[in-house]
Structure formats: structure tokens, C-alpha cells
Structure 1
Amino acid sequence: MVARSSEVRSSAVRHSASQGAGGHRRRGAGRLAGLGLGGAALLVLLTGCDVGKTFGGFGWPQGGITPQSHRMYDLWIASCIAALAVGVFVWGLIFWCVIRYRKRGNELPVQTRYNLPMEFLYTIAPILVVSVLFYYTAVVQTGVDKITKNPDVTVEVVAFKWNWQFNYRDGQGPDANTVASVLGTSDVIPVLVLPTGKSIRFEETSRDVIHSFWVPELLFKRDVMPGNVRNVFEVTSLDQEGEFVGRCAELCGSYHAFMNFELRVVSPQQYDQFLAEKKAGKSTQEALTAIGEAPYASTTEPFDTRRTKNNFNPSDASAGAGS
């Protein structure tokens, strides 16, 4: 009798425990469903607004002026959203496990040795995510690096310590002829004039050390190499007119920080007139004035070399005198 009643009581306890476990599972499933619905609602809300603008581009510069820059920007924003989605999912699982399997008295939670669906999920899902990101990265990179046979405009970018020369060419390659040129000096910032709506090839070379051609609105930098190396890239078109500062993005010497230029984007008609004025022997400032543009750069100023006699040998201080 004692044994029988013991079995009854233990059976009742097991039945009660199974009911409690079932209730816990139902509540856990409800929490997981709520988390999924919340994540879905968040994604719907994010797709209804400019996510990049809302979050400051997630650290990526905004305001690109070429189709290539727009594609790179879109890839960056999509990658950040994908990373956030994965992060929210993982964080949700962590907090759900913390709450669901927190310590309750002296009883240990259910121990699971293996779970095939979960193992399949955390093995395959990362591979799928990386594969998708790799695919779109390869597509965008291929488009950005694409070179055509006959671009509308070819510009040779020549870098030297510490300024720029822009040569407008009649063809491609080192054997093409220069039809007009813009040369920067310590007193005058060079202005590179280019048209909207035209494909533009940049052929870069350096006279001394490695420099880097960078216009932030183009959203990428290109190294300018010395020797026989010509770094070539193209932009499909420039989308908007305006003045945009350009810089050297490679530490090249004492005055690297002051090695600036200006990209001036104008209409195709203004560009043709500017080039005609340069071919006629006019200076860059005169040609800019002729097309109704400001003759000097407005986004940056010439650097002060401070190479004066007093700078190196002050006449008003005796040798060895303290201050």
C-alpha cells in the first residue's frame, strides 16, 4: 500500500510538472512570436523611410555625385541593415534565454544535448548571409571598376610635391596628346573643370612619390603612383553642378595636408567653351570668367609655406637668448 501510494503521488507530481513545463513552453513560444512580430514591424518601419539619412549614413559620407557613388552608398546601407537585423535576432535570443532559463529555486532547467534544427540554422544562416553580401559586393565593385573604350572626356591627373596638374587629353593612354592643361601653384589652387552627363576617364600618374586623388563626393580614393604605373578609373557621369573640394589622401611629405584642388562641375556647353578658351591660350582664371564661373577656388585656399627669412633666421633675436 505504501509503495502504491508512493507511485500515485510521484505520478501526480510528474503530471503536474509536465503541465507546468507545457505552460512554460507556451509562454516561451508566445514571447518568441512577439519578438518576431516586433522585428517584422521594425523592418517595415525602416523600409518606409530613408534609413541612411536617418542614421547619418552609418558613418558613410552622403551626397555622392556619380552613379558609382550611389551604388556604393546603397550597398553600405544594405550591409548595415543586414548586420543590425542579425544583431537584433541574436540579442533577442540571448535575452530570451536569460529570461526563459533563469534560475528558479534549486531545480535545473531542461538540459539539451543537441538540437538539429538549431545547429542547421546557425551553420547555414551565416553562410547564406556572407554569400549574399559577397555577391552584391562583387557586382558593385565590378561596376565601379568598369572601363569603357571611348569615354567622353579623358583627364590626365599628374601629382607632384605638393600640387596637381590636370591635362585634358584627345585620347587614352600615355601616347595621347594634351590639348589643354591646368597647373596649380603655391599661390593658386588648381581648378579641374568637368561636365555633367558625360563619362569621364581619369588617368593618374605621379612625378615623385605616391599621392592619392580624392574628391569626397566621388566616395572613393585612387592612389597616384610614380613611374610607369597609370592608375585608370572612370565615372559614368557627374549628376550635379557645383564646386567640390579635392585632396591628397596619402601622406606624401611636409605639405601633404595643403595639397588641395577643386572640382568644378559645369554644364556640357560651359565645359566646351572653357576648353575652347584654354586652347586659345587663355589662363584658367580667364577661361572660368568667360563661362560665368568664379575665377578662383571657393572650397579651399592656397597654403602658406611660411618660407621667409625671418621664419628661419629671426633678425630680432640674438643667438642663445632665452625667452
Structure 2
Amino acid sequence: MPEPVTEQGEHTLDLWQGAWIAALVTGVVVWGLIFWVVVRYRRRSDDEIPVQTRYNLPLEIFYTVAPIMMVIVFFAQTVRVQNIVLDEDTPPDQTIGVVGFQWSWAFNYALDDENGDGVSETDRYVWEAGTAGYIPTLYVPEGSTTRFELSSPDVIHDFGVPGFLIKMDVIPGRDNSFQVTPKRLGEFAGKCYELCGTYHSRMLFNVQVVPQEEYDAYLQTLVDAGRETDAPITGGEFVRTQAGAPTDETEGAAE
């Protein structure tokens, strides 16, 4: 597993490691019993064939109840970690709208967050979008909570960053979201985890976890570049037109 970059990812890593430890302990016990029986009860030249037992009720009860108890424990721990990782009760410091479209990504950043809840008070947003030949970069400030609101205008995509140890489907007509709190500066790779069409392999993006001052400066560069809108961009046609993403006609011409 990658080293978790976010606070939420630490809980995912703990669950992963705990599951592997439990599985290895179970495996060692089973392997030990197998080898012990092979050695202890191996056939000897002077041995008579032992009495053949059709069933052993206590043993059958044990190997039925024990796996059920293990599944219950695994399920309970998974639900506990899921509730922690997907908790959105804490108001985010900023919200970024993520649009997955065929075949790249667009990111909407809210401006003038006066209430500190990640929602723009003046309906001002800036955006960044990828194209067929350009991999976009998502900026996230270190040490603060960012909510990703996921949407798609065409087919199902999947937004994920391996370093965050979380990914989530981007489904047309459904509002999916999750929050992360990065705890380490750096550059990380992201991609679409859902086979979404011919150019699925192009759906890459980079993530820059930067200090708050650098994050604010980046948003200002988008304002200066004329990337400001009154509403977050959510439609594929707007993204194709503004960002120069490939259309069906240009893809056919390129082929």
C-alpha cells in the first residue's frame, strides 16, 4: 500500500494491515495443523487402517461458527473505517467540484468563502480542465479539509488518487462526494479507475498538495487567466469548448 498522504488514508491503511495480520494468523494456524497431522498421523508399515468417522459434530460446529465470527469482525471493522473515511459532518475549508468527462477532468474552485464552509458566497468560481494532450493539475492545500463534489455529464468514471487511499465513482445524475485532509506536501498521481470508453487511458491528472499561501496564489492565477465563472462548470460541452477537449469529429479526423 502507498504511504497515506491524508488523515483519512491512515485509517484505511490500518484496516488493510489488520486484515492481513488476521489472515496470516489464520493461515499459520491452519498450515500448522495440516503439517502436524501429516507428521503425527502418517501411515506406518505396521499400522492398521483407523476407524473411519463420517462426521464429528463438535468439529463441524467449530468450523462453521469460527468463519462466521471472523466475517462479522471484518465487516464491523470495515463499516467503522468507512464511517470515518466518508464522514462529512465537519465543515470543509474548501470545496472543489470535480467533473469527469470523456476523456479528462475539470476542477471547479469556489472563491470568496466567507463562511469557511467551502461554499462561495458570491457564486464565483475558477476552473481548470484537461484536454487530449494536456494532463490537468489539481491543487489542494496542506493541513485543511477539502471536499470533492463529483459529477459527470456522460458516463460513469471513477476519481481516485492512490496516495489518498480512496477512490469514488463519478456517476451521471448522482451527487457523490468525500473529504480529505492532506498531511504532507508533494506531487501525486491520480486517474480514472472505471473503464469509460475508448480513451479511458487519457484520464490522468496530477495532484499538488501545497501550503495555503501557494494554493491561494494558484487560484489568483486562474482568475488572471480569465478562468472565472458565475457557476461551476458541469457540462461536457462547456468543457470541450473552453478547454479544447477532443470532440467526436476531431477524434475521427485524428484516426
Q: Contact 1:247–1:260 (CA<8 Å) still a contact in 2? A: yes
Q: Which residue of the partner structure matches residue 17 of structure 2? A: 77
CA RMSD of aligned residues (A): 3.1
Q: Which residue of the partner structure matches residue 233 of structure 1? A: 178
CA distance in 2, matches of 1:82, 1:149: 32
Q: Contact 1:211–1:250 (CA<8 Å) still a contact in 2? A: yes
CA distance in 2, matches of 1:204, 1:264: 19
3-state SS of the aligned residue for 2:36? helix
Higher relative contact order, chain-length normalized (CA < 8 Å, sep 6+): 2
Q: Which residue of the partner structure matches residue 217 of structure 1? A: 163
Is 2:139 the partner of 1:193?
A: yes
**Which structure has greater strand proportion?**
2
Q: Kindly name which structure, 1 or 2, has the bigger radius of gyration based on alpha carbons.
A: 1
For structure 1, the 5+ residue unaligned runs are 1-60, 285-301, 313-323
Gap change, CA 1:100 and 1:192, over 3 Å in 2? same
**1:220 offset after TM fit, Å?**
2.3
Q: Which residue of the partner structure matches residue 211 of structure 2? A: 267
Q: Decide which moves more: 73-82 or 104-113.
A: 104-113
Given the two structures, how large is their TM-score scaled by the length of structure 2? 0.78
3-state SS of the aligned residue for 2:184? coil
Given the two structures, how large is their TM-score scaled by the length of structure 1? 0.63
Q: Which residue of the partner structure matches residue 95 of structure 2? A: 154
Match 1:130 to one of 71, 76, 79: 71
Match 2:104 to one of 163, 175, 179: 163
3-state SS of the aligned residue for 2:92? coil
For structure 2, the 5+ residue unaligned runs are 228-244
Identity of aligned residues (%): 45
Aligned residues: 230
**1:186 offset after TM fit, Å?**
2.8
3-state SS of the aligned residue for 1:81? helix
CA distance in 1, matches of 2:122, 2:73: 42
Q: Contact 1:194–1:266 (CA<8 Å) still a contact in 2? A: yes
Gap change, CA 1:183 and 1:112, over 3 Å in 2? closer
Letter in 1 for 2:75: F
Is 2:225 the partner of 1:282?
A: yes
Is 2:195 the partner of 1:254?
A: no
Letter in 1 for 2:28: V
Alignment of 1:274-313 (within 5 A): 274-279=218-223, 281-282=224-225
Letter in 1 for 2:201: A
CA offsets 1:206-228 (integer angstroms, 9 cap, x no match) = 1211111121111222111123x
CA distance in 2, matches of 1:141, 1:115: 39
